[in-house]
Structure 1
Amino acid sequence: MSYSFISASAEFTALCQSQLELLSRGVGAVWSAVYLTEELVENKQGRLVPLAIYPRNLMQQGQELPPVSLTNNLQQLTTQVQLSSLPLLQGTIVEKQIINPEKKLDSEVKKQLVLPLIYDTRVMGVLVTQKDEDWQPQELEQIEKIAQTLALARFLDHRYQWYQKQLAKQESLRQIEQDRLDDLLHQIRNPLTALRTFSKLLIKRLLPEDRNQSVAKSILRESDRLQELLEQFETETQQKEEENKALTLSTTSVRLTTDLPQSSHFLLPGNISELEAVSILEVLKILLISLQEIAAEQEIELIAELPQNLPLVIANAKALREVLNNLIDNALKYTPTGGKVVIYIIEKQEQPEQSWLGIAISDSGYGIPFEEQPKIFERHYRGIQAQSDIPGSGLGLAIAKDLVEKMGGKIEIISPNQLGKNTSLPGTTMIVWLVVASEN
């Protein structure tokens, strides 16, 4: 007889059967059975449902153990355990038979022993056993140990199945999100290919001295950047999929790992650990071509005060480009029309053998309140700007800080910066500090 509401694994059922057999051989039990408590439903009486019996031929002889209602004793015990956390009893003799009372038992059957399966203040079932002779103290002790074993096993089995269900739900949700992301990436590819093609055509058709030539090259360069990001993201996604499959939990074993998830670096082409001597001027030269156009469109004055004899810094060129692009874009975004953004260099020496070079981006914009400054590098945090109509995801500064620190640098914020004359626009200065490369 099977019951759909019984949630017990084959492994737990086999354990119960082996323990019941041990009772027969070890203490001479005539028969034994394990009942599990049905999941309680509001306004319904709880029931005990049979899971295993020994000898098994009792079932074959038509002596099926029916579901039964919790006896008053067990209902009272459940309440007591939940309220006062009573320890497992050393054996409870229940006079009322738990099997079908309409069936007449053999006259030699004298007593029946019922032990609740209790773990963590929860009654999860009962162990029922009986023999034709009086129970001896050492036998009661052995039966109690078996009941404790079954209680712990039932608790672990129930918890394991709960985790399996949660994992299945999470996997289902993850797959839905993955499908949505795959659809988005697929739809991005076609317009990106078209954008790259159009920019190449513009470069061919424009004369070398045409000022739009540099704009067309910038479009192609940014298109290539997007293409590179997509390819690296897809590669990383495939690797994560393979790792997830390798760590999938089977129904018979659980594979545990203490490895923490590694942060994603698909936003940065190449390996972030590949640091070298980098020219800040070369990185900014490429960025300023497009950023000057953006500033002009927004009627913002973008000023770059960059000396030509700057020393090289220890960095990753692509990472530094990502950082400066985010910071300058932020400065333009939060500076109103008629304002200005100034890029300049600061040099300092903290130790005789180590010099630092700071790339400062100052704006005459809205500024950042002092109480919000410790939080602005948190992912998705936008502070009071979230209440404005300025679009943003709150990721730019978080990404910039993460990349700067991975390059051995640090990022500093100053607000207000006194760049503008308007007191209602205190302005903000972001400084990226990087170690100066040794001349040796």
Structure 2
Amino acid sequence: MLMPTSSEFIELCRSQIALLTQAMGASLSVIYLTEELVESSQARLMPIAAYPDNAVALERSSRLALPAAADSPEIDAIPATGITQPRQLVLPLIHEELVFGLLVTERDDRPWTTWERSQVERIADTLSLACVMDQRAQWLDQSQQQHRSRQSQQHDVLDNLLHQLKSPLTALRTFGKLLVKKLQAGDPNREIAGSILRESDRLQELLQQFDEAIDLDSVDVLAEDASLVGRPIPLLPAGVLTTSNLELMPCSVSEILLPLIETAEAIAQEKGLLIKTEIPNFLPLVSANPGAVREVLSNLIDNALKYTPSGGEVHIRAREHGDRVRIWITDTGYGIPPEDLERLFERHYRGAQAKGDIPGTGLGLAIARRLIEQMHGSIQVFSPLKNEGWITEDDQPPKQGTSFLVELLMVKA
């Protein structure tokens, strides 16, 4: 079923009919397009342009060599080569063996010559190609409208979810502040309350970036306003969520790692895991984005805790190496199959973990790699674990597990 025709295509049809009338002396011309009736699968025709006018042309075209009534002739009955009588021409509009209309014309005073028929055929070819282009343009416009509608609906859903997330987060931060104030220094619960407050601050920062990233009003690449065509598309706001245009600055790996380790120790205690750390007091500063480094290391530590069974160990160590600072995160989990290692940093790829009971999206490591690349660093994975990532205390590392190595450039003196 053809899409509704545009006003531009109808104007083209009228101009071609005027050409037939003024240059070739046609006394009658009608252009039909196919229409598919709901109650029938048989394609039929509807007039969209005519001369002298629709009523007169349709009444006169009933005398032409059409196999059915002129107001709704059946397209299936028209030969692909058209119908030619001394003073009448009925030519199908065809493109790539698809017939979707007719050009009907006649002349009262003289028959059509061979050359004139060829010119009328050229007009039919022009209309055929124009109709195809018009249909594709209409389809594209409809698709874009549907896409804009879906974008708007998704935007509304995300706005609603974001609004609903902010209220409990505000309450969580408030409770965390109250606990920190009420608990005495030295109380182990005070450290837990501090971790709650840090993580809620982190969530608030991510939600703020999320709010900016989904602001479709400023990134509407399908805007209907013609004045926007050709303008550069604005970049999403810089941040951890977008992994673009990160602002690099001198930052301390130790200051980023220590709060993460405090949180990890609480989780490890609940799961029956042992955490060992080796973080020098005076590590050189690195050129990085603190939020991005925190996101990467937090993700790697969370994965180590998540995929290490009870009774296992997680080792976190940092050290200077040449012009870089190396951060190792090693676990004694089941390890990663060799066939998964090469694809581990692909978005949504979970490999063997997809068959397990531990939930995940397969996005964390892909985001981590992108963030590290934005900071001109590197990230690698080894399974079984590497000895360099194992904190030795007269014990040999196991022959399983996984090590992640993150390298960040030190600030140049």
TM-score (structure 2 length as normaliser): 0.86
CA gap 1:127/1:236 in 2 versus in 1, 3 angstroms: same
Kindly provide the CA deviation profile for residues 360-389 of structure 1, in whole angstroms up to 9, marking residues without a partner as x: 101101111010112211222211112222
Q: Confirm whether residue 114 of structure 1 aligns to residue 119 of structure 2.
A: no
Q: Secondary structure at the match of 2:254?
A: helix
How far does the alpha carbon of each residue in 1:221-273 deviate from its partner, in whole angstroms, 9 at most, with x for none? Answer: 221221222222222322x23332x63347xx798669789677554599743
Preserved contact between residue 318 and residue 328 of structure 2 (Cα < 8 Å): yes
Whichever residue aligns with residue 145 of structure 1, its letter is R
Distance 2:123 2:78 in 1: 21
For residue 346 of structure 1, report the CA deviation from its aligned partner: 5.0
Alignment match, 1:94: 84
- Alignment equivalent of 2:154, drawn from 172, 177, 182: 177
Distance 1:411 1:61 in 2: 75
- Structure 2 counterpart of 1:68, one-letter code: P
Distance 2:76 2:94 in 1: 16
The amino acid that maps onto 1:344 is R
SS in 2 for 1:66: coil
Matched, 1:69 2:80: no
Could you say if the C-alpha distance between residues 267 and 345 of structure 1 is closer, same or farther in structure 2, counting changes exceeding 3 Å?
closer
Q: Distance in 1 between matches of 2:57 and 2:96?
A: 36
Normalised to the residue count of structure 1, the TM-score between the two structures is 0.81
| 2:253 counterpart (255, 262, 280) | 280
Is 1:15 the counterpart of 2:12 in the alignment?
yes
- What secondary structure does 2:269 align onto? helix
In 1, Cα distance between equivalents of 2:237 and 2:145: 24
1:82 corresponding residue in structure 2: none
Q: Work out the CA distance in 1 between the residues paired with 2:175 and 2:44.
A: 73
- The within-5 A match list for 1:321-340 is 321-340=294-313
Q: 2:352: which partner in 1? A: 384
1:50 lines up with 2:47 in the alignment:
yes
Counterpart Cα distance in 2 of 1:271 and 1:30: 66
Equivalent residue, structure 1, for 2:186: 209
Deviation for aligned residue 1:405 = 0.6
- Measured against aligned partners, the alpha-carbon deviations of 1:18-61 in whole angstroms (never above 9, x if no partner) come to 21011101111111110112248897432222211011164499
Farther off after superposition, 168-177 or 221-230: 168-177
The answer on 1:163 being equivalent to 2:140 is yes
Structure 2 unaligned runs (5+)? 62-69
Cα pair 2:148 2:222 within 8 Å, conserved: no
Contact 2:279–2:319 (CA under 8 A) maintained in structure 1 = no
The one of 271, 274, 280 equivalent to 1:298 is 271
Q: 1:389 to 1:270 in 2, by over 3 A?
A: closer
Structure 1 residue 137: deviation in Å? 4.3
Determine the structure 1 residue equivalent to 2:30: 33
Equivalent pair of 2:268/2:274 in contact (CA under 8 Å) = yes
Q: Identity of paired residues, percent? A: 44
Return closer, same or farther for 1:208/1:160 CA change in 2, 3 Å cut-off.
same
Q: CA deviation at 1:311?
A: 1.7
Count of residue correspondences? 397
Aligned-residue offset at 1:180: 2.6
* Structure 1: distance between partners of 2:58 and 2:44: 24
Q: Indicate how the Cα distance of structure 1 residues 171 and 46 shifts in structure 2: closer, same or farther if over 3 A, else same.
A: same
Q: Distance in 2 between matches of 1:144 and 1:269?
A: 56
Q: Distance in 2 between matches of 1:115 and 1:61?
A: 16
Q: Give the counterpart letter for 1:66 in structure 2.
A: D
Give the deviation of 1:421 after TM superposition.
7.3
Residue 129 (structure 1) aligns with: 105
The DSSP-based 3-state class of the residue aligned with 1:303 is strand
Q: In the TM superposition, what is the alpha-carbon distance from 1:409 to its structure 2 partner?
A: 1.0
Aligned-partner SS, 1:273 = coil
Is the alpha carbon distance of 1:5 and 1:392 closer, same or farther for their aligned partners in structure 2, counting shifts above 3 Å? closer
